[in-house]
Amino acid sequence: MVETEVKIRVDNIDSLKDKILDLDARIEKERHYEENTLFDCPSQSLFKKRQALRLRITGQKAFLTFKGPPEKSRKFKIRKEYETEVRNGKQLRKILKSLGFIPVFNYQKYRTVFRRKNLKICLDETAIGTFMELEGERNKIVKFTDALGISKKEFIKLDYIQLIKKETGENSKGSKNLKS
Rounded average pLDDT over 12-23: 96
Summarize pLDDT for 56-94 with one digit per residue, the tens.
999 889 999 999 999 999 999 999 999 999 999 999 999
Q: How many CB atoms lie within 10 A of CB 39?
A: 21
Can you give the pTM of this predicted structure?
0.89
Domains parsed from the chain with CATH numbers: 2-176 (2.40.320.10)
What's the average model confidence in pLDDT over 6-25? 96
Mean pLDDT rounded to a whole number for the chain: 93
Report CA-CA distances (Å) from 136 to 3, 28, 117, 121. 7, 15, 10, 9
Question: Which pLDDT value is given to residue 168?
Answer: 87
